[in-house]
Amino acid sequence: MTPRPPIVLDSDPGIDDALALQYLLGTGLWDLKAYTSVGGNLPAEQTYLNARALTRALRVDADVPVHRGAGRPLTRLPYTSASAFHGRAGLGNETLPDSTAAHLPESSARVLLRLSREYEGELTVCATGPLTNVAIALLEDPGFARRVRKFVFMGGAAQVPGNITPVAEFNIWADPDAAEVVLSSGIPFTMVDLDASHHFLLGPADLAVLEAAGTGTALAARLLRVYMDAYRRHGGGDACPLHDPLAVGVCADESFITAAEGAVVVEGASELTRGKTVFVPSGAHRVYYADSPTLSARLAVTGRVALGPGTRDFTRDFVATLPRWPGVG
């Protein structure tokens, strides 16, 4: 049997983060080396506790180490809570038991660095929260960018409106400075943004399938019901987007999205446009920026950017995959 490739999931659980973890395990494609938490949907201590509880609920607490993320964004005030979508403590109405594993002293950023050395050229990193941990790793050792095989993250809005402000997506808005560090670093990135994730919705019929699938998906179904209700309350209709699971899906198969090559520059200076991801397709618009050597150099740092859904239906894959890794309760 060929060994499964190593991956780290860096998350701020968060309901769709929790679903992303179960989906990742359900694919059976990856060797999950660490589950690194980061503040975002909730303050860092809460997302850490949620991450621990999730590894227990998904029966991997003995195998997958959980690490604590940065306590706050790189330069800004602590993370603002997204409880309106994810529930008071981030996991809907659940109070899950803590993992029995020991608390580990190594921070999320340190683990990312260590694993990038241990699995140089092989490690995939998938981030489904603010990019604080990844930025800290890069600031400590810029070589992280070339040791990582692939970096896929959920965040940004390339050609569509934002979801936290008119122009910004939540994860990038939460720590725009970190996002700019990461996207200017040369790391081989794929940005799974709202342009793609808003096309993969989970509706009542899909939820019914997961509810009927038995106790292994009961927790996921309860979380999804809360998430769907939140989207309904916020004018999102009768379905919720599968933001974070989609990023995990794209780690293995880019045909879930339609992507283009280009630079992404993050606006950080103004509060009005904070976290806006300005997408400049490779080869386009260069002439307008030619007078600025700094900007020209910045625009030469490119990655893959989702501009819409791809040929493969992610919602379908998600509903089929989740029951393959039954959780507890």
- Residue 128-147 contact track with Ca ion, rule CB under 5 A, x = bound: xx------------------
In angstroms, give the least distance from the CB of 300 to Ca ion: 30
Nearer to ligand BDR, 162 or 310 (CB): 162
Tokens of 42: 């909730």
Question: Which residues are tagged catalytic?
Answer: 243
Q: What is the rounded distance in angstroms from the CA atom of residue 48 to the CA atom of residue 29? A: 25
CA contacts within 13 A on the Cβ side of 202? 32
Q: What is the dihedral of CA 197, 199, 205, 211, to 10 degrees?
A: -10
Residue nearest to ligand BDR (CB): 170
Considering only residues 96 through 155, tell me which ones interact with ligand BDR, judged by CB under 6 A: 128-129, 154
Strand partners, 32: 7
Nearest residue to 66 via CA among 87, 49, 83, 52: 52
Rule CB under 6 A: choose which of 16, 94, 254, 317 binds ligand BDR: 16
Helices (H), the chain: 15-27, 44-57, 83-86, 108-118, 132-140, 144-147, 170-174, 176-183, 194-197, 204-212, 218-233, 243-252, 286-289, 293-299, 314-321
Contact (Cβ atoms closer than 8 angstroms) between residue 306 and residue 261: no
Residue whose CB is less far from ligand BDR, 119 or 241: 241
The 10 Å Cβ neighbour count of residue 225 is 18
Q: Exactly one of 8, 10, 17, 64 binds ligand BDR (CB under 6 A); which one?
A: 17
* Paired residues of 7 in beta bridges: 32, 124
| Among positions 36, 55, 107, 171, the unique one binding ligand BDR when judged by CB under 6 A | 171
C-alpha count within 13 angstroms, C-beta hemisphere, residue 89? 12
Kindly state the smallest distance separating residue 39's Cβ from ligand BDR, in Å.
12
* Options 170, 189, 256, 279; binder of ligand BDR; rule CB under 6 A: 170
What is the DSSP secondary structure assignment for residue 93, as one 8-state letter? T
**Site for ligand BDR contains 163 (CB under 6 A):** yes
Which amino acid is residue 217, in one-letter code?
Answer: T
Distances (CA, A) of 102 to 60, 243, 288: 14, 31, 55
Q: Does the protein bind Ca ion through residue 73 (CB under 5 A)?
A: no
Do 88 and 46 contact (CB within 8 A), yes or no? Answer: no
Residue with tokens 């180490």: 65
**Residue from 22, 27, 36, 41 binding ligand BDR (CB under 6 A):** 41
Examine residue 26 and tell whether it contacts Ca ion (CB under 5 A). Answer: no
- Tell me which of Ca ion, ligand BDR, none is bound by residue 170, counting a contact when its beta carbon lies within the kind-specific cut-off of 5 to 8 angstroms: ligand BDR
Q: Which of 94, 177, 180, 244 binds ligand BDR (CB under 6 A)?
A: 244
| Residue range at the interface with ligand BDR (CB under 6 A); choices 49-57, 69-77, 169-177, 179-187 | 169-177
Segment interacting with ligand BDR, rule: CB under 6 A, options 11-19, 59-67, 100-108, 305-313: 11-19
Site string for ligand BDR, 43-72 (x = CB under 6 A): ------------------------------
Number of residues that bind ligand BDR (CB under 6 A): 15
Query: Which of residues 197 and 217 has its CB atom nearest to Ca ion in the complex?
Result: 197
- Give the residues lining the site for ligand BDR (CB under 6 A): 14, 16-17, 41, 82, 85, 128-129, 154, 163, 169-171, 243-244
